[in-house]
Chains A and B, each alone.
Chain A
Amino acid sequence: MSDFLPDSVVERILLKLPHTALVRFTSVSKPWNSLISSHNFIVQHSLSNPIDPLILTFHSTRSFLSTFCIDPSLTFTPIDSPSYPFSLRFLQSVHGLVCLHHAHNVILWNPSINKHFRIPAPTLGPAAGIGFGFDSKNHDFKVIRIVHSCRVELYSLNQGCWKDIDVPLEVDLSLKFSDTPCFLNGNVHWLVYHDDIYGDEKHILMFDVEEEKFGKLEFPAKLVKALFMNLKVTVIGDNLSVLNCKSRRDWCDIWMVGYHGVWNKMYSFNIVGGRGISNVFGLSSKETVIVLRQDPEEEESERTYFSMHSFTYQSELVEFFDVEGEVSSVCEYTPGSLFLLDKA
């Protein structure tokens, strides 16, 4: 790797480099290429270089992507977006790798190195619930699908294949999933309810991606009667949170789980005007949520207008920021990751 330095010193230097330089230096020589593209190096580099997250927003009406960075004063600044050759929705991003999906298609995309990996078609039918997470013991990304026929399959990026997972008792045909899971502390979390004769009991279904086992978390008692479509489970500033947004109204409650699994209603905020909150996305950084408000339609226009706002719970400030078109999907990701560099 060098005619005068031990390999271990060269490796230490390379671990300090930003991802762009490393990708460029895969052309230095075969040993450099092998080191930089090795799974161990990718994991070490991608987990040890913290960079502030960016916000990706996908505009379904015109199929384009915008990227924002949030500076310390919490203004959203548009920056150059990576090319986005997909029409899929964001599911989740973990360690700089964005999982996109639509129907049977699941793609893992690393915007930092402009590389994507199409996961082989799953073996089972349509999914009721889908999740994405990182197994930090085996340094492995995993996609989990819970299908209507009450079977569960898991894809491991390291193993490169789907396999069946034992189905716990609580996963049955009547279980309905929220469309946006979140990943926190090694677990995928979905908001679920049983749509059957026994009523509409809601809870949070968890999947530990390392142990590959399901778990269950009780739901805020006061939200049990809330309309399922108005609820969202998300991560806000590293806290597992449930958002309750009244449709066609302009307020939203944020519930957070504290010690011993006790839920507390922490914040309520208003976004006055418009025709109600249409969607809310939590951000794990900056203690912020992004709120989409549906705005009054302009005359002679067939399009629906949305405006984007941020709510920061520590300062309880609501701020408006400008974004074009209808935003259908928002995702936060950490740039600088090398994951997928080793994939053909």
Chain B
Amino acid sequence: MAEKASPSSNSISLKTVDGKIFKVSPAIANQMLTIQPLIKDSDSSTIISLPDVAAFHLTKIIEYLEGKPAAAPSAVDAFEAQFVKDLSPEELKGLLIAVGYLKVNGLVDLMANTVAKLIENKSVEYVRKFFGVVNDFTPAEEAKCRQEHAWAFDGVDED
């Protein structure tokens, strides 16, 4: 998919952080809100660099934007379920960063839902690791907080 930008048609060239160039139609590029203002000022030879997006993630984003059915909510649901089905937690994380950076229509919500499903039965430790959160509670403060809500710790998945 990656190739040198050539002054042909009116496609937009996007360059990922790992150096690959993707050509997409303006209709697709316009759904990435972050690059929208850059599209207006670009001509066919412009290459837009995406510092936070790797080729794997951009491939997935384009797959989503090109493949999403236009109508029928049930078809959209089925497509979205298939889209996120095989993503590992690590891939999900990377995609979430890329989607958050590009502000991709519809996909931010899908990613948020998918991550929510992934973590809803997870432990506090899992969530800290997943989001890269530093625990700034003192041990006493954390123990107090956990004890206060002890019922919410029942039935948590093994990490």
Binding site for B on A (CB under 8 A): 1-6, 9-10, 12-18, 20-21, 23-33, 113-114
Q: Which of A9, A21, A27, A30 contacts B120 (CB 8 A)?
A: A21
Enumerate chain A residues within 8 angstroms of B56, measured Cβ to Cβ. Answer: none
A-B residue pairs in contact (CB < 8 Å), sample of 18: A2-B133, A4-B97, A4-B131, A5-B97, A5-B131, A9-B108, A12-B109, A17-B116, A21-B119, A21-B121, A21-B152, A24-B152, A28-B127, A28-B131, A29-B135, A29-B136, A31-B133, A32-B133
Please tell me if the beta carbons of A20 and B135 are within 8 angstroms of each other in the complex.
no
Please tell me if the beta carbons of B108 and A27 are within 8 angstroms of each other in the complex.
no
Please tell me if the beta carbons of A2 and B120 are within 8 angstroms of each other in the complex.
no
Please tell me if the beta carbons of A13 and B112 are within 8 angstroms of each other in the complex.
yes
Q: Of B2-10, B15-23, B39-47, B142-150, which stretch is located at the interface?
A: B142-150
Please tell me if the beta carbons of B115 and A13 are within 8 angstroms of each other in the complex.
yes
Residue-wise interface mask of B (116-132) relative to A, using a CB-CB cutoff of 8 A (1 in contact, 0 not)? 10011100100110011
Enumerate chain B residues within 8 angstroms of A30, measured Cβ to Cβ. Answer: 136-137
Enumerate chain A residues within 8 angstroms of B149, measured Cβ to Cβ. Answer: 23-24, 26-27, 113
Residue of B nearest to A12 (CB): B112
Please tell me if the beta carbons of A25 and B127 are within 8 angstroms of each other in the complex.
yes
Q: How far is the CB of A173 from chain B (nearest CB, A)?
A: 46
Among A1, A20, A23: residue with most chain B CB under 10 A: A20
Please tell me if the beta carbons of A5 and B137 are within 8 angstroms of each other in the complex.
no
Beyond A9-B100, A21-B119, A25-B124, whether A1 also contacts B133 by CB under 8 A is: yes
Please tell me if the beta carbons of A26 and B145 are within 8 angstroms of each other in the complex.
yes
Please tell me if the beta carbons of A3 and B132 are within 8 angstroms of each other in the complex.
yes
Please tell me if the beta carbons of A27 and B151 are within 8 angstroms of each other in the complex.
no
Please tell me if the beta carbons of B133 and A27 are within 8 angstroms of each other in the complex.
no
Answer whether residue B74 sits at the interface, using C-beta atoms and an 8 A cutoff: no
A3 to B135 alpha-carbon distance, docked (Å) = 12
The 4 lowest CB-CB distance pairs between A and B, nearest first, are A3-B132, A16-B116, A2-B131, A23-B152
Q: How far is the CB of A301 from chain B (nearest CB, A)?
A: 38
Q: Which of A12, A28, A31, A32 contacts B108 (CB 8 A)?
A: A12
Q: How far is the CB of A116 from chain B (nearest CB, A)?
A: 14
Please tell me if the beta carbons of B146 and A27 are within 8 angstroms of each other in the complex.
yes
Q: How far is the CB of B136 from chain A (nearest CB, A)?
A: 5
Enumerate chain A residues within 8 angstroms of B151, measured Cβ to Cβ. Answer: 114
Known contacts A27-B124, A113-B149; can you find 7 more A-B pairs with CB under 8 A? A2-B133, A3-B132, A12-B108, A17-B119, A20-B152, A21-B152, A27-B142
Residue-wise interface mask of B (79-110) relative to A, using a CB-CB cutoff of 8 A (1 in contact, 0 not)? 00000000000000100110010000000110
A6 to B131 alpha-carbon distance, docked (Å) = 11
Please tell me if the beta carbons of A5 and B100 are within 8 angstroms of each other in the complex.
yes
Please tell me if the beta carbons of B145 and A27 are within 8 angstroms of each other in the complex.
yes
Residue of A nearest to B145 (CB): A27
Q: Which of A3, A23, A27 contacts B137 (CB 8 A)?
A: A27
Q: Which of B96, B116, B121, B133 contacts A28 (CB 8 A)?
A: B133
A148 to B91 alpha-carbon distance, docked (Å) = 66
Enumerate chain A residues within 8 angstroms of B119, measured Cβ to Cβ. Answer: 13, 17, 21
Enumerate chain A residues within 8 angstroms of B96, measured Cβ to Cβ. Answer: 5, 9
Please tell me if the beta carbons of B120 and A17 are within 8 angstroms of each other in the complex.
yes
A147 to B21 alpha-carbon distance, docked (Å) = 75
